[in-house]
Chain A
Amino acid sequence: MRLLVAVALLAASPALAAPGRVAGSKHDLSVTGPGPIKAEQETRVCIFCHVPHQGSREALSSRPDPGAGHRPYASGTMRARPGAPSGASRVCLSCHDGTIAIGRTTSELIAMNGAAPGGVIPSTRRSNLGTDLRRTHPISFAPAPAASTHRPAPHDAVRLDRNGELQCTACHDPHAEYGGSAEGKFLVKPTAGAQLCATCHVSSGASSHASSPAALPPAERAATGYASVAEAACMACHRSHGGDARGGLVARGDVERDDALCLRCHGGAVARLDVALDAAKPYSHAIDGGRQHDAAEGPSGPGPRLPETSAAAPRHAVCVDCHDPHEANGQRTAAPLAGGALAGVWGIDLAGRPVTPARFQYEVCFKCHADSANQADAPGAVRRARPEPNLRLVFDPSAPSFHPVAAPGRNPEVPGLLPPYDETSLVYCTDCHASSSGPGAGGSGPRGPHGSVYPHLLERSYSTADGTVESAAAYALCYKCHDREVLLSSRSAFPHRRHVVDGRAACAACHAAHGVARTSGTDTANAHLVDFDLSVVGPGPGGRREYERRGPRTGSCALRCHGREHDRTTY
């Protein structure tokens, strides 16, 4: 009798949904369930997924098998190759791929309210993942631990299945809607602050993104439920379900340009500096930022080759070619070290080898501006006698002459270097190539080579046109480091004033700003960055067009320029 009473009491109590139980959660599809989709009459809760006899080997599931036809997640940066869904994921997908009626079990069809025609989850609901799983976190694979991932710790709330495979159930406990997180979604841990993702995905936490208190834009806030960038963490840029189909789970539409995601915050909305303004300038790194970037691109591996090996390969530059959003931070350093903005990005070293992460800023630039086979002269570029598109060779310390990007310059006596520069200094590529409205140019925009009003994405004006009237403004870039007063005075061994002021020759008529590679130049003919502009400097007596360094502060020229012949004219 007592037993009967107890049973009766228990039977009368199921309407009270205990926390962490299926009853009362969105997975309670019984007639008393709370969600928009529930049974017309069925009172059993478990039957939608489980059955005590003739269930599947997987959790005694009552669900029909979802069959084949799922398109698995794929990403060039992922070593494991997920195949068809397996294990518990098949049970989940039997509802959540939207192909099987929610009320359909292996033995019956339970009448449901709120389902789409056919009894399936309406396609408008985010819980209908579809059969194209490229947009959803990979499932049904054994994680292959690497530098960036590891398996969950023993007894972690995140668990692999008995075969060591990651299934839907690694992140979701279908029995506990709010079991591990206040955000629901049956997550075993909160996603805030990367708590869930960091179980497997390793991050240094050094990224400014990890600590930024900046408020998310209203739309993002509404979509993610998070107030700040740091709180949203991974979810600020990634979607566990519904990412870009190209992989990476990037929160970006299928037709959006690669940079669209970054510019959502870095276009003036969230981040302090507006990179979109730079990207819109006439000379910008973002001009090719369509949808060509592949996170797996590199000198080897499954992705496209970078540096490009085919002259026909399209060139591209997007934010993440130079910035790793997982590592980038505001740490400033001195040349040639790569600063925080470039932290975590791979590069190409002076020897042409990939280096991860790049140690020096120029190594990042060398990804595209060294060995790439598809480099073409920019419109209006100076045509030189000794052209070398491979800047790795141009800036090599063994080159005849070079601006001191990778090593101090070879000239021990550079006239008029402005403090803090001297002959032992190194400079960044970005000391010359930078935003025309950044701090280097006296502005308040972002640093770095994002965009400029000046050709070649230069920070300041650098006229290469023959006949330019000399002024502080015309060669503002050169005069940033080289004292105009000294250069144009007798303190300069070479008669710069006669050439640049009187003869109106541009700096670029005689000097190649980057330098001259060993492969094409010599120590005597190409010292001091001398490599003539072929459109200005022609052959002189004997058909010679050459400079000869004869020693410190002395040299000679044999050439024809502005109608005047130099026959080994010395200075």
Chain B
Amino acid sequence: MKKAIVLGLALFATTASAAITGTPHDLLKLAGNTASSACQYCHMPHHSNTAVTDAPLWAKAVRTSYTDGGVAKTVGSNSQLCLSCHDGTASAVTTQHNGQTLATAYTINGGATGGTNVGTELGNDHPVSITYASAGGGLAALVSLTAAKTAGFVFFGATADQLECGSCHDPHVQPTGGNFLRGGTGDFCTKCHQK
């Protein structure tokens, strides 16, 4: 956990808004925005959301009610942060505590289901908030947790073995292949899945 926080903070600290600029996460380019920095859409230095464990000075309210195949799904804090935009339920980019609207009439993916709008039903997405375990066959034929970390993936939780959105995605670094994937695309899946 500590390591994750350190890593998260390090990324936050060292990844200047220059890295965000021009990427899909640079919401400054949105029409009607009133923010002074791209960071503001996700982070705020004061009065941030403390309801979320380990939240990196989160600016937005989060949702905790998600489903997986119609069954209620508990989502880890890291994924809650991402989903606070990517579940498509927010109709405007609004910060939580002072209610400042940084961009109006913004819905992710133009309001359409699919693409960057993963919805609140997570059954059609790669599972998150699961313990990474390499034991067993079939889909569980995974590289070891250590190997996955060595390959660049990040894990969360008290024992740093929880897979969340941030395991595969680094919201601050957009590689050539896009999608904020840690280490790009290509043979991405097989870095964990021994298929």
Which A residues lie at the B interface, using CB under 8 A? 3, 6-7, 10-11, 13-14, 21-23, 43-46, 50, 52-57, 60, 107, 175
Contacts and interface: CB of A to CB of B under 8 A. Distances in A.
A39 B142 CA distance: 26
Contact of B114 (A3, A10, A22, A54): A54
B14 interface: no
B194 interface: yes
Chain B residues touching A, majority SS: loop
B124 A14 contact: no
The 9 closest A-B pairs by CB, nearest first: A14-B187, A7-B183, A175-B195, A52-B126, A46-B189, A53-B125, A7-B152, A54-B114, A22-B195
B36 interface: no
Interface in B127-155: 150-152
A170 to B, nearest CB: 13
Interface string B107-129: 00000011100100001111000
Chain A residues touching B, majority SS: loop
A45 B151 contact: no
A6 B152 contact: yes
A3 B152 contact: yes
Given A7-B152, A11-B183, A107-B114, 5 more contacts: A43-B186, A43-B187, A53-B126, A54-B113, A54-B114
A289 B173 CA distance: 73
17 contacts: A6-B151, A7-B183, A10-B151, A10-B187, A10-B191, A11-B183, A11-B187, A21-B194, A44-B186, A46-B188, A46-B190, A46-B193, A54-B113, A54-B124, A55-B126, A57-B123, A57-B124
A52 B114 CA distance: 12
Nearest to B150: A6
Contact of B186 (A11, A50, A53): A11
A52 B178 CA distance: 14
Chain B interface size, under 10 / 10 to 19 / 20 to 34 / 35 or more: 20 to 34
Contacts of A60: 124-126
B185 interface: yes
Contact of B187 (A3, A23, A50, A175): A23
Contacts of B186: 11, 14, 43-44
A23 B190 contact: yes
Contacts of A50: 189
Contacts of B182: 7
Nearest to B191: A10
Nearest to A15: B187
A249 to B, nearest CB: 27
Contacts of B123: 57
A494 to B, nearest CB: 80
A559 B161 CA distance: 104
B168 A52 contact: yes
Interface string B162-173: 000000100000
Contacts of A56: 124
Contacts of B118: 53-54
Nearest to B125: A53
A45 B187 contact: yes
